[in-house]
Amino acid sequence: MNENYLHFLWKNKRLPLTNLLTVDGKKVEILHIGIHNLDSGPDFFNGQILLDEIRHSGNIEMHVKSSDWNLHGHQFDKAYSNVILHVVYEHDQLIFVEGIPLPTVELKPMIDWDHFNWFMNYYKRQGFILCEPFLKEVPEVMIVNQLERAFFQRMDRKMMELEHLYQSGKMSFKEVLFHSISRAFGMKVNQLPFQQLAVGIPFDRFLKATHRQKMAIAFGVGGFLNEEKSVTYHKELKKEWDFQRYRLKLKTLNTQSWKFKGCRPGGFPTQRLAQFASFVHEMNWDSDTWYLPARELLMMLQTQLMKPADDYWTTHFDFGKEKKAPSGISLATASTIITNSVVPFLWWLSHRLSDAAYRNKAFEMLQLLPAEKNEKISSWKKAGIKPVNALESQGLIELTNEFCAKKKCLECVIGNNILR
């Protein structure tokens, strides 16, 4: 037996809640099971019970054994002083709260062992989409509902990351966006060094710099201009970098932080750094930009992102290493960067300014953007769930990372429907 299964039974009311007895024979009727608490503290908040015809309101705690109460140290935690009912699989010890015996219900005689065994075997399945064989049995409305929940959870989580960045760094709104864009350019493989890059670059001075100066600062802070190379372009950037480093008192990252392995040549960190510096230079940083209609704003950002960094990086993927054919940021990559930087920024801006217009614009942009293409989305497509835009794919990514990968099926509308 495990506690998660007990929570599941309680939450889904797979118990005779109107005909229970405490371990000392008192009749207890559950009027309200409470609100499932996923953080620290009692398992269910604000429950209501009728015990010996007297109504009690408070929290409900669940354990495999009664003695787990003391084992978990609840006797020393004031958060548990308002527990009105102890629900356990097996009663093995009388528990007191402030000297009064805690009413306890034992579930052991009520367990449906066939369901329990099926439940446990479900979690032993292989693959990160445990529910895949059962998805066709789930009503579409529940799948849509869970994807919406996952999407809003993802946006709110990203919003709070930007809020923490804003408050801890005492940044301007533009600088928050700069950090968000830098992180997105790193994609999954080089996200961390791009974050460190943004911290190491003085934003206001960087914004005022020329295109060539931005290139030199980006590559210099990134650590790619520390060594001497015979490449003329590298020498020119290094000369500019030596001047800017002295003038702005800049420090460099360790080049070992950057990962080339796992990236295609078009996604090498040298390529991304050049594209990043160029986009920052091309982008319209005026606040009026965010008043543009969603479609117009999206097209402008995609155009700026897809503009070649400069002649050198159009034909090279690293210093001295030529490409077989000119290339730059693709529409798909540009859309991914916007999805992971500008959209969360607008969501955060809506929160910070208490203006729903920015959130609505972010919502509309995601509906216009194509669904992302990655291993996770491919797996969902094979399972029969095919996102039509970035809004739906963002929900699926969050569902995969925060529910499926962590086996939080009991917190998922889809999982609950299947396990019930």
The residue that leads in pLDDT, 389 or 266, is 389
| Pair of tokens at residue 153 | 């959870």
Token pair 């919003």 in the structure block, residue: 159
Percent of the chain scoring above 70 in pLDDT: 100
Taking residues 278-298, what's their average pLDDT? 93
Q: List, in order, residues 6 or more apart from 249 with CB less than 8 Å away.
A: none
Which of the residue ranges 275-279, 321-325, 372-376, 414-418 would you say has the lowest mean pLDDT? 321-325
- pTM of structure: 0.84
- pLDDT tens column, 291-311: 999 999 999 999 999 998 888
Q: What is the 3-state secondary structure (H, E, C) of the chain?
A: CCHHHHHHHHHCCCCCCCCEECCCCCEEEEEECCEECCCCCCCEEEEEEEECCEEEEEEEEEEEECCHHHHCCHHHCHHHCCEEEEEEEECCCCCEECCEECCEEECHHHCCHHHHHHHHHHHCCCCCCCCHHHHHHCCHHHHHHHHHHHHHHHHHHHHHHHHHHHHHHCCCHHHHHHHHHHHHHCCCCCHHHHHHHHHHCCHHHHHHCCHHHHHHHHHHHCCCCCCCCCCHHHHHHHHHHHHHHHHHCCCCCCHHHCCCCCCCHHHCHHHHHHHHHHHHHHCCCCHHHHHCCHHHHHHHHHHHHHCCCCHHHHHEEECCEECCCCCCCCHHHHHHHHHHCHHHHHHHHHHHHCCHHHHHHHHHHHHHCCCCCCHHHHHHHHCCCCCCCHHHHHHHHHHHHHHHCCCCHHHCHHHHHHHC
Domain ranges of the chain: 3-117, 142-404
**CA atoms of 227 and 214, how far apart (whole Å):** 19
**Helix intervals (H) in 34-190:** 68-71, 113-123, 140-169, 173-185
**Helix intervals (H) in 19-92:** 68-71
**CA atoms of 72 and 75, how far apart (whole Å):** 8
**pLDDT, position 250:** 95
pLDDT band of residue 127 (cuts 50, 70, 90) is: confident
- pLDDT tens column, 21-35: 999 999 999 999 999
**pLDDT, position 371:** 95
pLDDT band of residue 323 (cuts 50, 70, 90) is: confident
DSSP string, 292-330: S-HHHHHHHHHHHHHS-S-HHHHHEEETTEE-SS-----
**CA atoms of 105 and 103, how far apart (whole Å):** 7
| Residue 45 C-beta-side C-alpha neighbours within 13 Å | 8
Output the CA angle 280-285-290, nearest 5 degrees: 125
pLDDT band of residue 238 (cuts 50, 70, 90) is: very high
| Pair of tokens at residue 82 | 């308002």
How many of the other CB atoms lie within 10 Å of CB of 419?
Answer: 20
- pLDDT tens column, 177-214: 999 999 999 998 999 999 999 999 999 999 999 999 99
Q: 155 — phi, psi (to 5°)?
A: -65, -40
**pLDDT, position 398:** 96
